[in-house]
Each structure stands twice: as structure tokens, then as C-alpha cells.
């Protein structure tokens, strides 16, 4: 069963009514002074209004209000494709145009982030900042001059691979684990020349190691977990955590089933991965990249059916990671709420995290990285 990219994004960004999450709604209304004033970055999220009608790019009042309630200052969203479609460049151009249409319809609400200062200005102006980035380089392939076009289009991050092998290197689920190619080295050089942030998420273990060795500038693994806690190919080794941290990079922890062996993660599992990466790489090297929409999913039968359809599409395309199957849902139930970011902060405060350390985790680590790579 195939579904449109629009429907997929809407499904993953959809949220339940306040009545469906009465406790979450009440918690979201509780002010936490430092959190409300903080820079909050989700280094891999999704942009969209689940309440807008098909083809309508203007945010609804409800969608905008709930987006603000999350407390997120800036999120990074994905410009497609992922995988290796024959028409990858055409898919990319279509995806870029769709995103710019949304910006054009919401100039008073959304800010396209191109520099560190743009994030500060978005916070000041009460806008939701959005970073555009890829989760693959299949749309670039051997045409490395396209990297400059990505920058002109407003993109600021480039992910090298997505699970499968592309011309740059092996993704996380490639059994050969062959690392990056000659073209992969040139791709990294081209991205860095354009001051684009290199993202190693979804890479094979050898690919990520090779890329971290080759990179001359700080990089990120925007959405992952610690392999020492859950031995899954989407997670990363302590050696790589240290390598990225030593180079000034930041690693985002995702709210995904891959962080636990039975694929049924809890809030405590998210916290364990955050604390492990902070302990191994240092508190300046860890952030949040949920790989969710910033709004919660209404976990009802209709949503489960939509997610199952998406999952079948991933299986059919051969881009699903180990453990993905019908009934696999990309979330952590305890954090499936409008106040998920505030709730995480409260949970870490209860474990003794200081405000300074929490501010780094929730946003200033990524703000520092973005500013260093992009300027501003």
C-alpha cells in the first residue's frame, strides 16, 4: 500500500484533542520560567499542521497554538527523498517547493533558519524556527555541484546516508558495513565547503567512523541512541560518541523504539541514553532529536492504521531498520504529549540535573554547533 508524502507527514505530525490528553494539557499550562525563556531545539522533528485541510499551507489557529505550547524554539525537518529512487533530484525539488510554500503562507509564524542568529531572532519574535535538511545524499549522487544548490534553497544540514547503501557509503542496515566511498569523501568536502552541517545519522558503523575521521568541521548525529545500552544498528558506539564530541559535535537522542531491546521504550530508557551520552561525550555533546513531530500522536485506531500503512511502505521499499514491522510505532508513550519537552526537563531535574546542564541539553549545545558551522 502506498501513501503520499503529505499524508505520511500529516499522520506523524497529528495530535489529539486536549480532551484526549487532559493531564498533558494541564501540565503544559504550568509555567516554568527558565524553560519558557530557553532556546529549545529538536534536531530532527517534523513541520506541519495536522488540522489543516489537504492543500492548505496556512497553519490553523489550533495548530499554531499547540505548536507554541510545546515550547520548541526550532526544529529541523526533512527534505525528501530518502532511499534511492530513480527520480531523486525531482523528488527533492518538489519537497523543497512544498516547504517553501508553507513558509510563504506563514511569514508571521515560521522562520527559515540559516544562521545561529536566526534562532535567537525566532525566539525573540515568537516564531517557530525551522531548519531544512536532507536525510540522504541520493539526490546529489555524483553531481556535487548540487550541494551549492541545496544551500541556495535554504538547506543547512546534509545527512550522508539513510539505512541503505548510496553512492557515498553504506547505511545502517547494509550487512557489508563497507564504510564511505571515494565519492563519499568528496561529498563530505563539498558539504563542508558550503558550510553545511554534516549529519551521520542512519549511517553504517564503518561509514560513521570513516566520515568522522574525514570531517574537518564539527558534525552531528542528530537522532540516535547509545549502542552500549541497546545494540541496534541505528545506535552509535561510545568510540564514535567520543570522536564526535572531541570534534565539537553534538549527538541528539531520539524518542524511538530502537533505544531498548524489546522495542517498547519508556521515559526512563530515554533518560538512560541521554545520561550515557553525556557521561561518555560530556554535557556539551548531547541534545535532543526526537525523530517525532513536535505535537503528539492521537494513538487511536485510525492513527494506528495510518502508521501501519506507512510501515508497510517502508518495508516494501527496503528502508526499514531491524525491528520495524506492522505494529511498530515510532514514539515513546510516556512522552507522547504536548508537554513532552517540559516533562523530560522535570524528569531530569528530579535526577539532579542543574539548570545550566539542562539548558545545554535542550538547546544551547545545538545552538553553539549551528553557529560555529553556519556562522552568525
CATH superfamily label, 5-374: Metal-dependent hydrolases (3.20.20.140)
pLDDT of amino acid 33: 80
pTM, full prediction: 0.91
Question: Measured between alpha carbons, how far is residue 360 from residues 38, 252, 288, 344, 345 in Å?
Answer: 10, 12, 10, 14, 12
pLDDT of amino acid 45: 94
pLDDT of amino acid 194: 98
Cβ atoms < 10 Å from Cβ of 327 = 10
Residue extents of the structural domains in the chain: 5-374
The answer to whether the bond into 81 is cis (omega within 30° of 0) is yes
Q: Which tens digit of pLDDT belongs to each residue from 319-333?
A: 999 999 999 999 999
Q: What is the mean pLDDT of the chain?
A: 92
Is residue 364 a contact partner of residue 357, using CB atoms and an 8 Å limit? no
Q: Does residue 127 surpass a pLDDT of 50?
A: yes
Grade residue 26 by pLDDT with cuts at 50, 70 and 90.
very low
Q: Does residue 216 surpass a pLDDT of 60?
A: yes
In a 3-state reduction of DSSP, which class is residue 253? strand
Strands (E) in 286-351, as ranges, are 286-288
* Cα–Cα distance for residue pair 162/349, rounded to 1 Å: 35
Q: Does residue 1 surpass a pLDDT of 60?
A: no
pLDDT of amino acid 376: 82
Q: What would the mean pLDDT of 179-192 be, rounded to a whole number?
A: 98
* Cα–Cα distance for residue pair 294/13, rounded to 1 Å: 7
Q: Which tens digit of pLDDT belongs to each residue from 40-70?
A: 999 999 988 989 999 999 999 999 999 999 9
pLDDT of amino acid 32: 56
Q: Does residue 170 surpass a pLDDT of 80?
A: yes
pLDDT of amino acid 30: 46
* Cα–Cα distance for residue pair 11/2, rounded to 1 Å: 14
Q: What would the mean pLDDT of 74-96 be, rounded to a whole number?
A: 97
Q: Does residue 6 surpass a pLDDT of 50?
A: no
Q: Does residue 13 surpass a pLDDT of 50?
A: no
Q: Which tens digit of pLDDT belongs to each residue from 101-122?
A: 999 999 999 999 999 999 999 9
Grade residue 15 by pLDDT with cuts at 50, 70 and 90.
very low
Amino acid at each position: 500500500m502506498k501513501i503520499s508524502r503529505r499524508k505520511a507527514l500529516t499522520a506523524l505530525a497529528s495530535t489529539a484533542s486536549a480532551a484526549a490528553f487532559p493531564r498533558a494539557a494541564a501540565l503544559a499550562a504550568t509555567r516554568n520560567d527558565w524553560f519558557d525563556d530557553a532556546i529549545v531545539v529538536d534536531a530532527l522533528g517534523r513541520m506541519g499542521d495536522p488540522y489543516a485541510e489537504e492543500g492548505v499551507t496556512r497553519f490553523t489557529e489550533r495548530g499554531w497554538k499547540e505548536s507554541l505550547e510545546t515550547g520548541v524554539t526550532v526544529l529541523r525537518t526533512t527534505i525528501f527523498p530518502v532511499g534511492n529512487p530513480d527520480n531523486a533530484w525531482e523528488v527533492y525539488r518538489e519537497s523543497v517547493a512544498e516547504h517553501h510554500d508553507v513558509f510563504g503562507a506563514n511569514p508571521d509564524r515560521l522562520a527559515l533558519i540559516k544562521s545561529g542568529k536566526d534562532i535567537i531572532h525566532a525566539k525573540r519574535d515568537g516564531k517557530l524556527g525551522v531548519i531544512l535538511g536532507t536525510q540522504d545524499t541520493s539526490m546529489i549522487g555524483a553531481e556535487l555541484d548540487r550541494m551549492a544548490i541545496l544551500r541556495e534553497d535554504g538547506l543547512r544540514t546534509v545527512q550522508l546516508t539513510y539505512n541503505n547503501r548510496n553512492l557515498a557509503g553504506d547505511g545502517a542496515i547494509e550487512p557489508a558495513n563497507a564504510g564511505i566511498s571515494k565519492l563519499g569523501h568528496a561529498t563530505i568536502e563539498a558539504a563542508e565547503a558550503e558550510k553545511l552541517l554534516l549529519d551521520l545519522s542512519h549511517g553504517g558503523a564503518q561509514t560513521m567512523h570513516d566520515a568522522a575521521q574525514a570531517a574537518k568541521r564539527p558534525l552531528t548525529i542528530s537522532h540516535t541512541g547509545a549502542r552500549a545500552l541497546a545494540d541496534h544498528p541505528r545506535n552509535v558506539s561510545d568510540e564514535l560518541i567520543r570522536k564526535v564530541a572531541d570534534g565539537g559535535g553534538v549527538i541528539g537522542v531520539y524518542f524511538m523504539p530502537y533505544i531498548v531491546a524489546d522495542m517498547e521504550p519508556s521515559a526512563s530508557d530515554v533518560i538512560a541514553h541521554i545520561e550515557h551520552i553525556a557521561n561518555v561525550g560530556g554535557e556539551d555533546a548531547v541534545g535532543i532529536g526526537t525523530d517525532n513531530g513536535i505535537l503528539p500522536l492521537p494513538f487511536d485506531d485510525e492513527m494506528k492504521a495510518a502508521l501501519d500503512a506507512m510501515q508497510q511502505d517502508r518495508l516494501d521499499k527496503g528502508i526499514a531498520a531491524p525491528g520495524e514491522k506492522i505494529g511498530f510505532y515510532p514514539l515513546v508513550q510516556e512522552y507522547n504529549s504536548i508537554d513532552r519537552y517540559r516533562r523530560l526537563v522535570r524528569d531530569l531535574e528530579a535526577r539532579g540535573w542543574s539548570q545550566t546542564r539542562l539548558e545545554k541539553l535542550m538547546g544551547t549545545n545545538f545552538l553553539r554547533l549551528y553557529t560555529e558551522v553556519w556562522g552568525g
